[in-house]
Amino acid sequence: MPVWQSIYEELKSENFEIISVAQDTGGEEAAGHFYDDANVTYTALIDVNHQISSLYNLVNVPSGVWVDEGGKIMRINEGTYAKTHFDGAWGTDDYVPIVRDWVAKGADSEYVWDRTKVRESIIQRTPEAERAQPAFRLGGYYFTGGNDEKAEQYWTMAQELDPTSWNYLRQDLQYEDGGSAGPEWSKRRAEIESAGGSYYAPLEIDN
């Protein structure tokens, strides 16, 4: 987050905005202090119902979307770390330079995707996955109201309806033994990776 703040300081005068959205059922209490600690001045939001992931068909965090001046998507659905974490275990520092290039060159940047590539990069949801989002929303309603039993019921339903969503899984695990990056998460990640899949949508820097 301090890294994004420094990038924002560098680029904000070039008609550029960062909108950062925490996908956090725990709300201000869970996410707010991260913004405060980094003294962020970009647009910092907390999205208790994971509305942005629902609208943009995203299944993991962090994820990035480029939106141009006219509201068109230029890139979408990428695991967007600002720097390398944990000795390279997570993320890379390849993303920030391409953001700089886009801000400087706009549509002429070689990192801007064409319409077809954007369309193909949007995750298509099955009818079951479409139902996962109102199920997750319902679980959040009960969580907020203190009904943990029903929260668990509908969060489990959401995970069953959309097993591709890391957000649904990890938000739920946050409130269970082991936490959001505990053994259950590691097991699921290993299953996907051993099958040749990728936990994060891969960054495609070379067009």
Partner 1 sequence: MNRKTSIAGIAAAMLISGVLNAQSATVLYNDRVVELEQTLPDATDLWVKPEDLTRVNDFVLKPEGACLDALCVPVLQDRDSAMFVTRQGQAWFNVTELADKLQQAYVTDYNDGVWSFGTMPVTRQSFLRGGEAPDFELMGRDGEPVRLSDFRGKKVLLLTWASW
Chosen residue from 15, 149, 177, 194 binding partner 1 by CB under 8 A:
15
Q: Note whether 130 binds partner 1 by CB under 8 A.
A: yes
Chosen residue from 3, 19, 192, 205 binding partner 1 by CB under 8 A:
19
Sign of dihedral through CA atoms 150, 58, 191, 120?
Answer: positive
Residue 76 vs residues 62, 115, 141: alpha-carbon distances, Å:
12, 11, 29
Nearer to partner 1, 81 or 195 (CB): 81
Q: Report in angstroms how near the CB of residue 136 gets to partner 1 at its nearest.
A: 9
Look-up of token digits 């965090």 = 61
Binding segment (CB under 8 A) for partner 1, from list 59-67, 84-92, 193-201: 59-67
Concatenate the DSSP letters of all residues of 122-178 into one string. Answer: SPPPPHHHHHHHHHHHHHHHHHHTT-HHHHHHHHHHHHHH-TT-HHHHHHHHTTSTT
Distance CA 1, CA 81 (A): 10
Site for partner 1 in 145-174 (CB under 8 A): 150, 154, 157, 167, 170-171, 173-174
Q: Note whether 49 binds partner 1 by CB under 8 A.
A: yes
Chosen residue from 106, 188, 199, 203 binding partner 1 by CB under 8 A:
106
Distance CA 52, CA 38 (A): 22
Chosen residue from 5, 91, 111, 118 binding partner 1 by CB under 8 A:
118
Binding segment (CB under 8 A) for partner 1, from list 67-75, 86-94, 188-196, 199-207: 67-75
Q: Are 181 and 170 contacting, i.e. CB atoms less than 8 angstroms apart?
A: yes
Distance CA 99, CA 128 (A): 34
Nearer to partner 1, 39 or 124 (CB): 124
Q: Are 122 and 111 contacting, i.e. CB atoms less than 8 angstroms apart?
A: no
Nearer to partner 1, 72 or 191 (CB): 72
Nearer to partner 1, 72 or 83 (CB): 72
Nearer to partner 1, 130 or 191 (CB): 130
Number of residues that bind partner 1 (CB under 8 A): 76
Distance CA 60, CA 76 (A): 12
In the structure encoding, which two tokens stand for residue 13, read together? 């005068």
